[in-house]
Amino acid sequence: MKKDGSPKADSQWPLWEVFVQPPGGAPHEHAGSVHAVDAEHALQNARDVYARRGEGVNIWVVPTNAITSSTPDDMGPFFDPGNDKPYRHPQFYKVPRGVKM
Amino acid sequence: MDAKPTTSDDADRNAEFEARIAHGETIEPKDWMPDRYRKQLVRMMSQHAHSEIVGMLPEGNWVTRAPTLRRKMGLLAKVQDEAGHGLYIYCGTETLGVDRQELVLQLLNGTAKYSSIFNYPTLTWADIGAIGWLVDGAAIVNQTMLAKASYGPYARAMVRICKEENFHKKQGFEIMTTLAGGTPEQRRMAQDALNRWWWPSLMMFGPHDKDSPNSEEMQRWGVKRKSNDELRQRFVNLTVAQAKAINLEIPDPQLRLNEETQNWDFGPIDWDEFWRVVKGDGPCNRERLAARNKAHAEGEWVRIAAAAYANKRAAKIEAA
């Protein structure tokens, strides 16, 4: 990339993350990444690279640098609020013997 | 050759890292990892990606001369897949913090290695059958193992690739089956292709375990789950029965079933040939690199045009 952020011919084009939605209503899933000059180009490359056999009914492309991610170092404290609440799971609750739920 | 922890902090992290591997956890791009793990993965993954890209060349040689439209469609789809596989693995390698452009340049200027098998020529149509059957067959054995590699992006690329390569192997075996059941001349062609591709295919798994220092380290880190020799044996065991089924003879007079181990024992591999080809003196090393460089140079106007178009559109959007 040139300093102004526009793509130059023989340098690395910007990186885009590709999310493909499989047929049957499942959610989009991360498939990989592609380099492309713009969003439309990224969509075409994503189709050619990640959906050659009907793997997808829809594709999202997102500039890689637009993604904010949690960090591995914070993993413990970050997910902690969800880890000590067994009462959020059905197994926590007792049902009289013989009753089908 | 172990990663040398320089501080006690690094030593702790290293111990934690090795424990995670031992527990079968997957290492992800933002996780801490020893420098050497990162370096070895970049080396291994980029070589793998280059192999997919160079692997298009021997087969591309036959696209225009495929004997039927059915064969041509199959071969075109296979060659296109190889391009895709190269891109999956380049994308995985980039997550380790290397620039793809840098990797591509290393391939073009000859400093990067790729699988030596692609430095052999495709002399007849039967070679396309032999490549799909043997070369992709060997690659599947290797990649099925790598689908459980400790580095997440590599493992995920391998899962995707393995799914697609089963088609490659079957289209190759179908070509061999047809030729082996054809006229005497076609049979001879099939046998000749097997004769020429058999030993290079066994070499694809790399040197024997005792001569492969990287291998032990990669196994300790859970990148590889099996050794070169184990994988090679698995490939031989799978392939012998397939050759028999189509009445072709594997060119190894020492090949025999070992009753005790139930493995097919095979004769010695010509490692002098292997190293000669790795070091650049195979039949097609120069030709392959020249073809890659030519394709890259001839694609330059496309890269310039795509960038110019994107810049023009961006300027229009800004002006609006």
pLDDT tens figures, A40-77:
999 999 999 999 998 899 999 999 999 999 888 777 88
CB A44 within 8 A of CB A83: no
ipTM: 0.85
For residues A28-49, average pLDDT: 95
Give the DSSP per-residue string, B261-280.
TTEEE-----HHHHHHIIII
Q: Residue B26 gets which letter from DSSP?
A: P
pLDDT at A1: 40
Contacts of A38 in chain B (CB under 8 A): 310, 313-314
User: From A52, which residue of chain B is nearest by alpha-carbon distance?
Assistant: B81
For residues B179-193, average pLDDT: 98
Residue contact A10–B88, C-beta within 8 A: no
Mean per-residue pLDDT of chain B: 94
Distance CA A43, CA B141 (A): 33
β-strand B256-258 against A29-35: which pairing, if any? unpaired
pLDDT above 90: residue B1: no
pLDDT at A3: 42
The CB density around residue B171, as the number of other CB atoms within 10 Å, is 21
Tokens of B83: 């391009």
Contacts of B156 in chain A (CB under 8 A): 32
Interface of B with A in 67-106 (CB under 8 A): 77, 80-81, 84, 87-88, 91-92, 94, 99-101
Contacts of A52 in chain B (CB under 8 A): 77, 80-81, 84
Of A9, A32, A38, the CB nearest to B313: A38
Which residue would you say has higher pLDDT here, B197 or A78? B197
**Of all residues in chain B, what percent carry a pLDDT higher than 70?**
98
What are the distances in angstroms from CA A3 to CA A7, A8, A11, B306, B317? 9, 10, 12, 18, 19
Tell me: the pLDDT tens digits for B202-255? 999 999 999 988 888 899 999 999 999 999 999 999 999 999 999 999 999 999
Confidence of residue A79 (pLDDT cuts 50, 70, 90): confident
Q: Is A37 in the B-facing interface, judged by CB distances under 8 Å?
A: yes
CB B133 within 8 A of CB B72: no
User: From A17, which residue of chain B is nearest by alpha-carbon distance?
Assistant: B91
Contacts of A33 in chain B (CB under 8 A): 91, 94
Predicted TM-score of the model (pTM)? 0.90
Distance CA B63, CA B311 (A): 36
pLDDT at A5: 46
Q: Is B28 in the A-facing interface, judged by CB distances under 8 Å?
A: yes
Residue contact A12–B307, C-beta within 8 A: no
Tell me: the pLDDT tens digits for B108-166? 999 999 999 999 999 999 999 999 999 999 999 999 999 999 999 999 999 999 989 99
pLDDT at B223: 95
Confidence of residue B262 (pLDDT cuts 50, 70, 90): very high
Residue contact A13–B309, C-beta within 8 A: no
Nearest to B218 by CA among B46, B43, B81: B43
